[in-house]
Structure 1
């Protein structure tokens, strides 16, 4: 299934991500303590029962989070998770993609363009800059020049993960 870049407000994303992170950490602490207390009260005090209580708290927090992730107020956070997932998949294919770019492969150029656009958007959403990685900036410029020379569009807004199968590592 193809993934498309979307525009989201960085301030809104950062605020929601902080709130959700704090809520989930608080929930984990409360559930972990609650389950540990219930287990040690019922079966006696033990390090293993405390550890089991924390594990049960983690499972309960994960289940609650899985149930809530499709809610409308989770849109920005869910989008960033998906973006990170796709960028991670692309990064595992960077070497074959770079070789294919040297051969003017249009698909590789599209995927690397999407990768660089996604990395820039991710940095913007997280309130960081991408100016600190000279190698990535040089590669981004090389891809841009090749795209211009081949008459390809400047931006690529969609990515189909199945396209990576053409660049399986040997």
Structure 2
């Protein structure tokens, strides 16, 4: 995955529409399915928890499959990009202890993974208006920059490939 410039306004607008559509679909779908099942299979005790749960589960699966199918639509570009970015950052975060250790030993791939993580996190946090930890990110970036200078490494995130994570 490569980082791309994203229009924050368009991203927020499209994300809000997708969230609203998912909430509306979940509400209408789960209630509709549950009511249909209750009508077809009434319970003498009056407990319809299992039908309500089934309505939520089925509707959630349908929404998930629909999102997966429309992920490549141009309307979903920014939302899908952020979705993929979060997954890529999570893959790095799960291995961050080993990556940090390797980077302190001069491993170029480890430093590159950290650079991608820090750059991607900065973009993600800016898009989501989550600026609380930006100071921490700046400190981490400064530490990484010092390591790169120490080992005379140039960190070009366009050369990042997540396959390098397999060695950590």
TM-score normalized by structure 2? 0.88
In the aligned structure 2, how far is the partner of 1:119 from the partner of 1:42? Answer: 50
State whether structure 2 residue 68 is matched by structure 1 residue 66. Answer: yes
Superposed counterparts of 1:139-154, under 5 Å: 139-153=140-154
What does residue 54 of structure 1 align with? 56
Aligned residue for 2:112? 110
Change (3 A) 1:130 1:104: farther
Aligned-residue offset at 1:130: 5.4
Deviations 1:109-156 (CA, angstroms, capped at 9, x unpaired): 11111110011010111122254553x432211111222344433541
Partner of 1:81: 83
* Partner Cα separation in structure 2 for residue 50 and residue 142 of structure 1: 52
Residue 30 of structure 1 is matched in structure 2 by 28
In the alignment, structure 2 segments of 5+ residues that lack a partner are: none
Structure with higher RCO (Cα < 8 A, 6+ apart): 1
Q: Deviations over 1:48-96 (max 9, x none)?
A: 2222222222222222222222211101011111110010010111111
Matched residue SS, 1:4: coil
Contact 2:111 2:155 in 1 (8 A): no
**C-alpha distance in structure 2 between counterparts of 1:9 and 1:22, whole Å:** 20
8 Å CA contact 1:5, 1:158 repeated in 2 = no
Match of 2:125 in 1: 123
Matches within 5 A, 1:149-160: 149-153=150-154, 155-160=156-161
Contact 1:32 1:53 in 2 (8 A): yes
CA RMSD, Structure 1 to Structure 2 (Å): 1.8
Judging changes above 3 Å, is the alpha-carbon distance between structure 1 residues 130 and 146 closer, same or farther for their aligned structure 2 residues? farther
Answer whether contact 1:39 1:49 (CA < 8 A) is retained: yes
- TM-score after normalising by structure 1: 0.87
Task: Evaluate the alpha carbon distance shift between residue 130 and residue 5 of structure 1 in structure 2; reply closer, same or farther with a 3 A threshold.
Answer: farther
Q: Match for residue 7 of structure 2?
A: 9
| Distance in 1 of aligned mates of 2:132 and 2:120 | 11
| SS class of match (2:157) | coil
